[in-house]
Amino acid sequence: MKAVIQPLVPVLTKDAVPYFTDPVHAGFPSPARDHMDSQLDFNELLIKRPASTYVLRAEGHSMGAAGIAPGDYLVVDRAIEAAHGHIIVAAVDGDFLVKRLQTHPTLKLIAMSPDYPDIELRSGQELEVFGVVTYVVKPMLSKMP
């Protein structure tokens, strides 16, 4: 039995809508009328490619390198080809780990936390990169009272 689903174009990101659609409604013609812009939309900044963008949450015992802390949200894009210097999320032995990728002089996953080792990748060893971290969203106000 067939189920035809409507094209889902706007689903992956919300449209930004201007505050005021018709300033004249307020009773006077606004000088800003022809210069109205839409609100800042974080989707536009953080999610360039909705189909390949995922969010993960960082966890750990201590502050990681690059200022990433436990509890931060990681915006990860699978469409970006992981390259030297990128901070990536990789699947290693059944877990998602946040590591920095080194491709030269050797292929290596650099530790983001002092409690963990670097991982040397041997030739032929498969590296599953979940995606490249493009943005980190860091809550600044503590959850504790």
Interacting residues toward other proteins by CB under 8 A: 2-9, 11-12, 49-52, 54-60, 62, 64, 68-70, 73-74, 78-79, 89, 91-92, 94-99, 111-113, 115-116, 128, 130
Residues annotated as part of the active site: 62, 99
* Residue 96 to residue 54: CA distance in whole angstroms: 13
Which structure tokens are listed for 130?
């979940």
Amino acid at 118: D
22/115 with CB nearer other proteins: 115
How many angstroms separate the first and last alpha carbons of the chain?
A: 55
Whether the CB-CB separation of 132 and 80 falls below 8 Å is answered with yes
Shortest distance, position 35 Cβ to other proteins, whole Å: 30
* Residue 108 to residue 125: CA distance in whole angstroms: 11
Shortest distance, position 9 Cβ to other proteins, whole Å: 8
Shortest distance, position 31 Cβ to other proteins, whole Å: 33
CA-wise closest residue to 134 among 40, 53, 14, 15? 53
Shortest distance, position 65 Cβ to other proteins, whole Å: 8
6/123 with CB nearer other proteins: 6
Whether the CB-CB separation of 74 and 89 falls below 8 Å is answered with yes
31/117 with CB nearer other proteins: 117
23/107 with CB nearer other proteins: 107
